[in-house]
Amino acid sequence: MTNRIAQLTALLPKVSDDPRALIAIARQMIAAGDRPRAVALAEQVHAMTGGRGEAGVTAAEILSDGVFSWHFVIPRDRARNDAYEQALLRAIRPGCRVLEIGTGTGLLAMMAARAGATVVTCEADAAIASAARDVIAANGYSDRVTVVSKHSTDLDPTRDMGGLADILVSEIVSNDLLSEGVLGAHEDAVARLLAPDGVVIPPRGTIRVALARDLRDRAPRLGEASGFDLSAFNRLAAPNELVRVGMDQVALCSAPVDLFSFDFATADPRKPERRELDIPSLGGRIDGIVQWIALEMDAVGRYENRPESGTASCWGALLWRFPEPVDTEKRDTVTVGGAHERDRVRLWVSD
C-alpha cells in the first residue's frame, strides 16, 4: 500500500456517513492506482444514495467505467443463451467442476450451476465481479458458484479453483472473434487449468466472409458540404463499420466463405495468418466485404450471426468497405485478402 492510499484509507472512518466525501476519496484512490478500493467505496455510496444526487451519479460513473454496453446486450440474446446452455447440459456430469472465463453478469456460470456443476468463474474487472456476486446471490447460487476477481492467466488451479476444471466455458469473443484475446486466454487455460480430458465450450470458432452491398440509405464517406470538398478527411475513417445483424443493413453478394477457423481447445499457440480468396460474385454492385462469426458449441450445437439471417444477434457484423464500389456480373471473381494477428483481423480487396 502506497503512502497516499494509506492516508486516504485513514480518512474513511471520519467520513463514513458522508457520500460526497467518500466519492472524493474514491476518485483519489483511482488516481493513486487502487481501482478495487475505489469501486468498493462507489458501491457503498450507491447503496447509501440509491444512485440519486451528485454523489450517486458520480458513484455510477466510477462503477460503469470500463463496463461496455454489450454487457447489457449479450444476456438478452436468447439464441446465444440457448446455444450455450444446451452445450452445457450435454457436457455436465455429476460432480463436474466448471471454469468460466469472463463472468460478466454471471449468466453462464448460473446455467452451469443449474445443470448441477460446481463453478469457478473469473472476472478481471472489480466492479463487474462484485455485481456478478450479487446477481448470483440473488438467484440462490452462491453455494455453487465462486467469483474470483482475477484475469484467467492469474488463476492458480489449486488455490483459486480447488483443482483442474472438467469443463472450460467462455464467451470472450468479439464482433471480429479475436479482439478480446480469446486465443491467448484459451491456450493458457487449456494448458494449466483444464483436466487432460476436459471439455471446452465452444471448442471452435470461425470467421466467415462474403461480398456485400450496403443497404443503408446514407453517404458512406464525406464529400461536399456547404460548398466545400471534405473528401480528403476520409483517410481518417475507420476501415470497417459495424453492421447490425437481423436489420437488413447489407445484402450478401456471394456465397459465404470460411476465412479463418480456430481451435479453442488446444494449448498450442496459433500463429498469425494471411491468405487470399477468389470469391465469385452473384452480380451487381459490391461495396465491400462483410465479416461475421460462427461458433461450434460442441458436436451438435452451433451459433452463427449471419447478417442476412433475419435474426438479431448480440454480436454485430463488420463491413470492410472498398475504396470505391465495384460493379460485377454474375460469377465475376473478386480477390479478397485477410490477415489476423491473433487479436486483430484485417480484410481488404486485392488489386
- In the chain the domains, ranked by start, together with CATH numbers, are 3-64 (no CATH), 71-171 (3.40.50.150), 204-349 (2.70.160.11)
**Backbone torsions φ then ψ of 225, nearest 5 degrees:** -145, 120
Q: 3-state DSSP helix/strand/coil percent for the chain, to nearest 5? A: 35, 30, 35
Query: How many alpha carbons lie under 13 Å from residue 164 in its C-beta half-sphere?
Result: 14
Q: What is the pLDDT along the chain (351 residues), one digit of tens a residue?
A: 678 889 989 989 999 999 999 999 999 999 999 999 999 999 999 999 999 999 999 999 999 998 989 899 999 999 999 999 999 999 999 999 999 999 999 999 999 999 999 999 999 999 999 999 999 999 999 999 999 999 999 999 999 999 999 999 999 999 999 999 999 999 999 999 999 999 999 999 999 999 999 999 887 888 999 999 999 999 999 999 999 999 999 999 999 999 999 999 999 999 999 999 999 999 999 999 999 999 999 999 999 999 988 899 999 999 999 988 999 999 999 999 999 999 999 999 987
Helix or strand or coil: residue 105? coil
**Backbone torsions φ then ψ of 22, nearest 5 degrees:** -65, -40
Contacts of 311 (CB under 8 A, 6+ apart): 79, 245, 246
- Output DSSP code: residue 86: H
Sign of the torsion formed by the C-alpha atoms of 15, 19, 21 and 24: positive
Q: What is the pTM of this model?
A: 0.91
Q: How far apart are CA 85 and CA 104, in angstroms?
A: 16
In this prediction, residue 130 carries a pLDDT of 95
Cα radius of gyration rounded to whole Å, the chain: 24
In this prediction, residue 1 carries a pLDDT of 62
How buried is 124 (Cβ within 10 angstroms: 0-12 exposed, 13-18 middle, 19+ buried)? middle
If you search the block for the grid coordinates 484475446, which residue do you land on?
181
- Of the candidates 238, 80, 240, the one whose C-alpha atom is nearest the C-alpha of residue 176 is 240
In this prediction, residue 41 carries a pLDDT of 95
- Of the candidates 173, 169, 115, 170, the one whose C-alpha atom is nearest the C-alpha of residue 144 is 115
